[in-house]
Structure 1
Amino acid sequence: MLTKQRLRAVQNDSNVCADIEGFDFNAYDARDIEELRRFWLQYGVLRFKKTGISDAQQVEFSRHFGEFVIHPKQKQEGGHPTHQEILVISNAMKDGKPSGAMGNSEATWHTDTWFYERPPAGAILRGVTVPPSGGDTYFLSTYSAYETLPDALRKATDGRQIFFQNVYDKTGKLRLGKSEPGSRDFREWTGVVHPLVRAHGETGRKALYLGGTTEGAWIVGLPLDESAALLADLWDHTTGKQEVFVQKWDEGDIMMWDNRCTMHRRDGFDPSLIRIMHRTTTAGERPV
């Protein structure tokens, strides 16, 4: 009797991603899932090349990694017609309206839904239709961002908390269910407070937690100018000096990332080209 081939994680030329070999989406067991989870926690980002799986298979696979989270965009333009767990990211039009969320523009560095009390633990993104060029996705490690901080910056982050307003999104649009604030001082708006350095809920490793923008972010207790200067230094260190993995998509590729210890961004692309991605999101703990 042949022994089943076990999984392999092959780290690429970054410190944040590994390619998974030997995983069969049509025939896997609890041991395979346990091994994948170990790799996921170790590397932060996993890639599965040209999987060819269906929406139903993606949903079923995602169930093994936690409860589903409904992304804010799923309540607007990014809902899936038959699988409520899936966020549709697409620039395709249907009946004169967007058939998915996020269009074709650039998405700058961020951690997903950083403005939630409990940001998601992870996301699983599958390329359904991809353009021949553009729309690349980039990943970096916020473990590494913290661990490589110069001493002065590390001391400046110790014990600090960061406030994120949750009234407007990064494009300046009101978030769903929010109304125009009565004050110009964003610190008086609704929002969340998280640690500037969070301990991962499963590994215990410390990671820098910057959210998704410096706009509407405030290091609690600091004067606004000092907060802005420190955040600028932290963002420059994180996004300008860390090793980055670049995913150039093929149809069927899956990227699976740990939202608690990574950040990602997306290149814009030609609006005449169609890019359709299906994403599932899993629940996480409150950052501590």
Structure 2
Amino acid sequence: MLTKIRLRAVQHASNVCGDIEGFDFNDYDADDIAAVRKFWLQYGVVRFKKAGITDAQQVQFSRHFGEFVIHPKQLQEGGHPTHPEILVISNAMKDGKPSGAMGNSEATWHTDTWFYERPPAGAILRAVAVPPSGGDTYFLSTYIAYDTLPAPLKNAVDGRQIFFQNVYDKTGKLRLGKSTPKSQDFREWSGIVHPLVRTHGETGRKALYLGGTTEGAWIVGMSRDESDALLAELWDHTTNTKHIFVQQWDEGDIMMWDNRCTMHRRDSFDPASIRIMHRTTTSGERPV
């Protein structure tokens, strides 16, 4: 009888990501899933190098980590033709129309769908086709961001709440189902309030929760000027850090991140190159 190889994770120097070794997507059991979940919660981001799995395998694997969430882009240009659970991220064109979402431009630092009442717990992103250069994905830990705050800043954010408008996206386009607001003050628009410091529901650790932009974000109870100044300081502290993992993609690579304690961004790439990624997203709880 063959002895099963024990899973292990190799931590990167960034302290943000762990490479999972020994996982077989064709033959895994509940113990293997439990080990992956342990590493995912430990590192915030895990990677499977050149896994080379199918769409169906990605969907089946993702089911073990929660119910699926439909990303807003899946209702527009990012829907998958046969697997509704998958968001297609691609700059490829078909019959003169985008065959996926997000094109080739830069995606700035964000946590996924921060403007939801219950943002997703995590996401699993698989490289189907990659450009020869560009399109790298960067990850940081919002645990580390909170833990390394100077004491005065930590005192300033603990117990605070942050309002995010949910009418416009980061490019200035109206979100699906939204209409142009009458007020010029975004604080009067439709939106959601979350804690500025959230406590992870599984690990109990605290993490900064900055969403995806300072535009349309307001720390409740502060003046606009005070809020803008504090948010600028928090964003600078969070993103100007040595603790960043850079994923330079190979076809078949899979990145799996915990949306409750990480942020990520993407480099732009040459529009003449094709980049296709398939993503599944799993449900989360309301931040507390």
Q: Structure 1 length as normaliser, TM-score?
A: 0.99
Q: What aligned pairs does 1:29-44 form with structure 2 within 5 A after superposition?
A: 29-44=29-44
1:180 aligned partner? 180
Structure 2 counterpart of 1:73: 73
Contact 1:141 1:242 in 2 (8 A): no
Q: How does 1:100-249 map to 2 (within 5 A)?
A: 100-249=100-249
CA shift at 1:12, angstroms?
Answer: 1.3
Residues 110-137 of structure 1: per-residue CA shift (max 9 Å, x gap): 0000000000000000000001110000
Partner Cα separation in structure 1 for residue 97 and residue 57 of structure 2: 28
**SS of equivalent to 1:174:** coil
Cα offset, 1:13, TM superposition: 1.6
Q: Following the alignment from structure 2 to structure 1, what is the Cα–Cα distance between the partners of residues 155 and 285?
A: 26
Would you say the 8 A contact 2:70–2:85 is kept in 1? yes
What is the letter of the counterpart of residue 49 of structure 1? K
* Pairing 1:56-71 to 2, within 5 Å after superposition: 56-71=56-71
User: For the Cα contact (< 8 Å) 1:124–1:281, is it kept in 2?
Assistant: yes
Q: Tell me how far apart the structure 1 counterparts of residues 205 and 285 of structure 2 sit (CA, whole Å).
A: 14
Query: Structure 1 residue 84 and structure 2 residue 92: aligned?
Result: no
Post-superposition offset of 1:242: 4.5
Report if aligned partners of 2:14, 2:242 keep a CA contact under 8 Å in 1. Answer: no
Structure 1 match to 2:276: 276
RMSD of Structure 2 on Structure 1 (CA): 0.5
The amino acid that maps onto 2:269 is: F
**How far apart in 1 are the matches of 2:160 and 2:230?**
11
In structure 1, distance between residues paired with 2:247 and 2:74: 24
Structure 1 CA distance, aligned partners of 2:252 and 2:118? Answer: 30
Q: Is the 8 A contact 2:7 2:23 kept in 1?
A: yes
**Shift in CA distance, 38/255, structure 1 to aligned 2, threshold 3 Å:** same
Aligned positions of 1:249-268 closer than 5 A: 249-268=249-268
The CA distance in 2 between the partners of 1:73 and 1:28, in whole Å, is 31
C-alpha separation between the residues in 2 aligned to 1:213 and 1:12?
27
TM-score (normalised: structure 2): 0.99
- The alpha-carbon deviation at position 2 of structure 1 amounts to 2.9
Residue 37 of structure 2 aligns to a residue whose secondary structure is helix
- 1:241, distance to aligned residue in structure 2 (A): 2.3
Structure 2: 5+ residue stretches without partners:
none
Whole-Å separation in 1 of the counterparts to 2:135 and 2:64: 28
Tell me if the contact between 1:145 and 1:242 (Cα under 8 Å) persists in the aligned partners: no
Q: Is the 8 A contact 1:144 1:242 kept in 2?
A: no
Compute the displacement of 1:190 (Å).
Answer: 0.3
Query: 1:77-96: CA deviations, max 9, x gaps?
Result: 00000000000000000000
List structure 1 runs of 4+ shifted beyond 3 angstroms. Answer: none
Residues of 2 paired with 1:242 and 1:234: CA distance? 15
Distance 2:232 2:223 in 1: 14
